[in-house]
Amino acid sequence: MEAPEIEKRRAGLDADLPLWIILDEFNEDVIGRSFYPEPEPPLGRFSRAFFVPLSKRFIARRESIQGFRRYD
């Protein structure tokens, strides 16, 4: 799903670039074993009205999508 311009701005992303939310794969990253420390303060965030429907679609499809583990 392509992120709308207003949502890219809210998230602090480049609104001039085509940016996509991919819902057919995900990364698993266990806190405590993560290679990635918490980033500096977040750039921004998507609105609830945009993010909640995406989350519901992801949850509904989670059993049929590919996960990638960042740890062994």
From CA 56, how far away is CA 51, in angstroms rounded?
9
Q: Which domain holds residue 51?
A: 5-69
Arithmetic mean of pLDDT, 26-43 = 71
Question: Model confidence over 8-28: pLDDT tens digits?
Answer: 999 999 999 999 988 777 777
From CA 11, how far away is CA 59, in angstroms rounded?
22
Domain count, the chain: 1
51-63: b (≥16 Cβ within 10 Å) or e? eeeeeeeeeeeee
Arithmetic mean of pLDDT, 25-49 = 76
Does pLDDT of 2 surpass 80? yes
Arithmetic mean of pLDDT, 1-11 = 93
